[in-house]
Amino acid sequence: MTTTTEAGTSMACRLVALKKDYVLKGETVRALRGISLEVPQGDYVAIMGASGSGKSTLLNLLGCLDKPTSGSYYLGNLDVARLNDQQLSMIRASRIGFVFQSYNLIPQLTVVENIEVPLYYQGRVNRQTRRRCHSLAAMVGLADRLGHRPTQLSGGQQQRVAIARSLVNDPYFILADEATGNLDSKTTAEILALFDRLNQEGRTIIMVTHEDEVASHAKRVVRLRDGLMISDERSPREPDRPSPFGQSAGSCSPWIF
């Protein structure tokens, strides 16, 4: 179930006055100083900022890899900022699709087995889910590489496996961290075209990047500086409010704990 605003727009996620402090050598570092952000279902957001801007801290909070000092973070109608570590682990495995710069594939596993990893941690690997993994591999152009291991794949092919893996649980959004950082320009263009297609099909994407060319593919660019959001600009090609999307784009049931 997604959060719906008074205007009727479904939210993939929503941040309200999110703050994060760290204590280093006895001093408090205010990494995030009150970030509020709404990401409608089907949006495509690029998050940018220089080193020290709070970009990595925000990435960790969005991915439920860390908990905020204060504020709220809603996935669906659930404020995940209030969950314990075990519950956050469940959310990471079931409701967020991760795509990393370094791919994070398991070398001993095949393409299909790597796509299955989030399902494995939930005890949901069966014949039906295996067919879904085959379909996702085909969707990203790897139907002829199902039995290959990461060392037998190019960087672009490995990232395609990671993208397929990010979709296996029908997540609220794909969280991509410098997803093209290890790729050459030709392969970068191919991966960005794949993200474009996924977004056109209704998938919500939040991409952290330092490259303007990569960010230009997004519908919105959010810029951070010194732990604050200094701008949130929508592409002139896009309307002020995203169009409604189909149920396949991260439509999930509420969680029960």
Question: What is the per-residue pLDDT across 55-106, written as a single tens digit (0 to 9) for each?
Answer: 999 999 999 999 999 999 999 889 999 999 999 998 998 899 999 999 999 9
Domains of the chain: total: 1
Q: What are the CA-CA distances from residue 169 to residues 13, 76, 231 (Å)? A: 16, 15, 32
Amino acid in the structure at residue 100: F
Task: Confirm whether 114 is domain-assigned.
Answer: yes
Instruction: State the pLDDT at residue 25.
Output: 87
* Within-domain flag for 119: yes
pLDDT at 235: 81
The verdict on residue 253 lying in a domain is: no
Q: Which residues are CB-neighbours of 50 under 8 A, at least 6 positions away?
A: 210, 225
Domain contains 36: no
3 state DSSP class of 72: strand
Residue indicated by tokens 């889910």:
129
> Facing residues of 72 across strands?
16
Those residues of the chain that have pLDDT short of 50 are: 1-2, 5-7, 239-257
| Residue partners of 10: CB distance under 8 A and separation at least 6 | 2, 3, 4, 40, 41, 244
Look up the CATH number of the domain holding residue 214: 3.40.50.300
Q: Does the residue 96 lie in any domain?
A: yes
- CB 201, CB 249: distance < 8 Å: yes
**Domain presence at residue 221:** yes
Give, in order, the Cα–Cα distances in Å from 141 to each of 99, 137, 138, 164. Answer: 17, 6, 5, 10
Q: What is the pLDDT of residue 2?
A: 46
Domain assignment present for residue 229? The answer is yes
In a domain, 174, yes or no: yes
Nearest to 217 by CA among 199, 243, 240, 241: 199
User: What domain range is 123 assigned to?
Assistant: 42-68+80-234
pTM over 0.85: yes
Residues 80, 156: Cα–Cα separation, whole Å? 33
